[in-house]
Amino acid sequence: MPHIKKAELIEGTVYMASPLRITQHGEPHARMMTWLGVYWASTPGVQLGDNCTVRLDADNEPQPDALLRIENGGRSSVNPEGYVEGAPELIVEVAASTVSLDANDKLKVYRRNRVQEYILWRVEDGELDWFGWQEGEYVPLMPDEMGIICSEVFPGLWLDRVAFLDGNLARAIATVQRGISTTEHQEFVDRFKQT
């Protein structure tokens, strides 16, 4: 159905998106993409995707709000048709009307397919959950004493959770810029220069 902009196959069921409101999805999605984009711009070897289909398995082709993947040597690939196949390292869902699906079936699908990190922003609840995959389960990644959550897969991908949720994008960007100025981030980038 080429006229449909967004349809997802989750656990064998097709879901079609409702119209999106700017306050509950459009602006939060833009905030998320801006934060991820700052990291992407400073991290050669990773690829950022916005609302692209991910072919995880025979019953699941989600279209997450965002994904971040390692281009060479990562867990996913891009097929000749341009679709992501396999589990990207990070998937993000910005959820308002889709919280039930994103927090339940999608979470299970992403965990089963070993998506290493999953961010679920429950916009109407004012909550952001960042899960890391450990021994077959998702465990919440907790903020440090400064309120910063640090990716375990992407060195330097730091999120000032309070600033981000409060809409202080300048402070959230400053935090990720501090993350990408670390030695760990530089070593991560250097790995891709050697491949």
Q: How far apart are CA 160 and CA 181, in angstroms?
A: 16
Regarding the domain delimited by 7-193, which CATH topology (the fold level of the hierarchy) does it fall under? Answer: tt1808, chain A (3.90.1570)
Q: How far apart are CA 27 and CA 42, in angstroms?
A: 23
pLDDT along the chain (195 residues), means of 10: 54 59 76 97 97 92 95 95 96 82 84 95 92 93 96 98 96 98 96 77
pTM over 0.75: yes
- pLDDT for the residue numbered 80: 96
Strands 54-55 and 84-86: parallel
- pLDDT for the residue numbered 6: 62
- pLDDT for the residue numbered 19: 55
**Rg (Cα) of the chain, in Å, rounded?**
16
Q: How far apart are CA 73 and CA 62, in angstroms?
A: 22
- Most distant pair of Cα atoms in the chain: their distance: 49
Determine contact, residues 138/107, Cβ cutoff 8 Å. yes
Residue 192, strand partner residues: none
Q: Where are the domains of the chain?
A: 7-193
